Structure 1
Amino acid sequence: MSDAVSTREDRHEPTSELGLAERARDGDASAFRDIMQRNNTRLFRVARSVLKDDADAEDAVQESYLKAYTKLGEFRGESTLSTWLTRIVLNESLMRLRQGRRTAEITRTFEQESRSGRVVRFPGMAQGQDPEKAAATAQITRILERAVDALPIDFRVVFVMRCVQEMSVEETAEQLAIPQATVKTRLHRARLLLRRSLDEELGVSLTGTFPFGGSRCARMTEAVLARLGLTDMLPSGPNGNGDI
């Protein structure tokens, strides 16, 4: 299922998710699998926006799920489950970043990041792309991902949340605990920096970057269930793959 559908389904009403969390807390492995499959893409993208590495991001998300499972009793439905999980992933990712790297990038100010240079048109969505362009699109996607990785961390995280994961200004501000005006400022600055590093002719869908679905999504879900000792509690039948 597409990431766009997954994004929409992340935004359940808190009350509808409370029962799912309660079932998972009581040891219902299917419920916890459902939670993971709904949130894998969002959480992977958030972790990767901090850590800039697929493997590190996946490790951070797995560890966050383990921590979340032990704290399910603390979820009261006051926010969406995806918001609650995102906060855990952000904390885990930032902790790993602090442990492994200097923290100067985190506190770098807006003024320090200002650079002179030519601003070019930001690429739009590729429309009606034919199969012959698939290889070129894949290469362009990698170029765009590297450009996003090069952004300062506070700009990068906001950019991924707003433009890749398509979260609202309000939701982004809530999850990062910053004012909505700051979200808008950082997103604007991120776009300017990206325009300086990308070619005018690039055209790629941002919602297609940093994919995390199919076998990768299923593998991480099963790994977390195995580490929690919940595999044997699952009903027999297909496991289901990818984002729900």
Structure 2
Amino acid sequence: MKKNQTRIADADWTKLADVDIIARVATGDAGAFAELMRRYNRKLYRTARAMTGDNGEAEDIVQEAWTRAYAHIADFRNESAISTWLVRIVLNEALGRKRRTRPTVELDETNEHQMSSVIMLPSCGANPESSMSRTQVRHLLERAIDTLPPDFRTVFVLRSVEEMRGAEVAQQLGIPEATVKTRLHRARALIRQELEKNFLIALSDVFPFDGARCKELSNRVMARIGLLQDKS
């Protein structure tokens, strides 16, 4: 690919559509490729993480996928969304690694016992207290998602987290759309069960009143008692 000497200010990248970004990447524009990664890194990481259940391996897969995407960007024909093309590269890379590790594995295989660590979901908040609350909820959801069998987890992340259409998920995974619906329904039920279990365990700790708050109240009560005693 030839080097493109035209430069665009960072603020202007957001004004370009994917098709324009891709055209610039095809000319060797490194800035355009960096923008493409900024737009789709999270989607690709979530996809890889759902497939592998491992943070480090997911990062390796995404890195390899981006390398392949850059090398073959000229092969992209705009017949589908760039995100679809990139997700397919990630899925192929993840599946290829599974097959190299376990030659008999298939994309449609369900392992009821495989667990994993953390799926990275975004957190945000306008203030520290809100941010902390959202982070706690996020961690709770991450742990629940990670208890899903890999095939259920993949469908759930693509459908519910990435909000891909059922038909697109079916096409990406090479399974019937009815199977996508079944796995999504089962995944939601399993997550609900896991969340209910965690919430029941946490019920005994709700409305805590100890530490400084407890001491302050005690001090106020003792002060009032002291005043009453003085008046008697």
Aligned counterpart, 2:75: 74
- 2:31 aligned partner, one-letter code: S
Shift in Å, 1:74 = 0.9
Shift in Å, 1:89 = 0.5
- 2:177 aligned partner, one-letter code: Q
The 1:134/1:105 distance shift into structure 2, 3 A limit, reads farther
Q: In structure 2, what is the Cα distance between the partners aligned to 1:54 and 1:70?
A: 25
Q: In structure 1, what is the Cα distance between the partners aligned to 2:30 and 2:126?
A: 41
Shift in Å, 1:139 = 3.3
Aligned counterpart, 2:209: none
Shift in Å, 1:156 = 0.7
Query: Are the equivalent residues in 2 in contact too, given 1:47–1:93 (CA < 8 A)?
Result: yes
Query: Are the equivalent residues in 2 in contact too, given 1:18–1:75 (CA < 8 A)?
Result: no
Shift in Å, 1:87 = 0.2
- 1:84 aligned partner, one-letter code: W
**Share of identical aligned residues, percent?**
49
Shift in Å, 1:44 = 0.7
Aligned counterpart, 2:142: 145
Q: Normalized against structure 1, the TM-score is what?
A: 0.61
- 2:90 aligned partner, one-letter code: V
Shift in Å, 1:199 = 2.2
Query: Are the equivalent residues in 1 in contact too, given 2:53–2:150 (CA < 8 A)?
Result: no
SS at 2:196's partner residue?
A: coil
Aligned counterpart, 1:198: 195
Q: Normalized against structure 2, the TM-score is what?
A: 0.64
Task: Determine if the alignment matches structure 1 residue 164 to structure 2 residue 170.
Answer: no
Query: Are the equivalent residues in 2 in contact too, given 1:162–1:168 (CA < 8 A)?
Result: yes
Bigger relative contact order (CA 8 A; separation at least 6): 1
Query: Are the equivalent residues in 1 in contact too, given 2:98–2:105 (CA < 8 A)?
Result: no
- 1:163 aligned partner, one-letter code: S
Q: In structure 2, what is the Cα distance between the partners aligned to 1:142 and 1:21?
A: 35
Flag structure 2 segments of 5+ consecutive residues without an equivalent: 1-15, 113-124, 200-232
Q: In structure 2, what is the Cα distance between the partners aligned to 1:161 and 1:198?
A: 20
Shift in Å, 1:68 = 0.9
Q: In structure 1, what is the Cα distance between the partners aligned to 2:131 and 2:79?
A: 43
Give the aligned length.
172
CA offsets 1:14-59 (integer angstroms, 9 cap, x no match): xx54443232122111221121111111111001001112222111
Aligned counterpart, 2:89: 88
The 1:129/1:188 distance shift into structure 2, 3 A limit, reads farther
- 1:185 aligned partner, one-letter code: T
The 1:185/1:30 distance shift into structure 2, 3 A limit, reads same
Aligned counterpart, 2:31: 30
What RMSD in Å do the two structures reach over aligned CA positions? 2.9
The 1:96/1:143 distance shift into structure 2, 3 A limit, reads farther
Flag structure 1 segments of 5+ consecutive residues without an equivalent: 1-11, 114-127, 203-244
Q: In structure 1, what is the Cα distance between the partners aligned to 2:140 and 2:69?
A: 34
Aligned counterpart, 1:155: 152
Q: In structure 1, what is the Cα distance between the partners aligned to 2:20 and 2:136?
A: 43
Q: In structure 1, what is the Cα distance between the partners aligned to 2:19 and 2:73?
A: 10
Aligned counterpart, 1:184: 181
Aligned counterpart, 1:47: 48
The 1:186/1:136 distance shift into structure 2, 3 A limit, reads same
- 2:65 aligned partner, one-letter code: S
The 1:134/1:77 distance shift into structure 2, 3 A limit, reads closer
Structure number with larger C-alpha Rg:
2
- 1:94 aligned partner, one-letter code: L
